[in-house]
Amino acid sequence: MVNKEKLFQEIFQANSKKIYHLCYGYTGDSDTANDLMQETFLKVWQNLDKFRNQAMISTWIYRIAVNTCLSHLRVEKRQAKDELTENIIESKAEEFSEKNEQIALLYRCISKLEENERIIITLVLDEVPYPEIAEISGISEGNLRVKIHRIKHKLTELYNRYERI
């Protein structure tokens, strides 16, 4: 039997960057994203023996990360309501405006999407395969493709609206 610590190290190595990126997409803050990534992998460690290999382990980890981020956002929303979204927009915009104004604008537009749309588009931007995104989001692959098309259309409209300002 494989040593749990060795297995966990391999899982962490293979998934930590993507999970950090996902958490960062939700928070816009590198320290918070790092905390949420660590919390995610703590849950992975604690529940590794419960993983049943019915899905890819990365899909399972993404689900844990999404739930961890959503829980964090719910707590933050209770504490700061709409200020949170504005702070995320501003911090991302400031951080990326130095690097690339278009990326800042894209993240500003993504922050205007509904939570489930943000999850999906973040996974698409991370180049997660569609079957895995479908499993993470709990919808069929066909429905996912339609949703992604609509999200891209919505983002284009938001982007064009902001670009004119």
Q: What is the pLDDT of residues 71-87, one digit of tens each?
A: 887 777 666 545 555 55
DSSP string, 69-135: HHHHHHHHHHHHTTHHHHHHHHHHHHHHHHH-HHHHHHHHHHHTS-HHHHHHHHHHHTT--HHHHHH
Q: Is the pLDDT of residue 111 over 50?
A: yes
Query: What pTM did the predictor assign?
Result: 0.57
Indicate if the pLDDT at residue 13 is higher than 90: yes
Where do the domains of the chain lie? 9-164
Q: Taking the domain 9-164, which CATH number applies?
A: 1.20.140
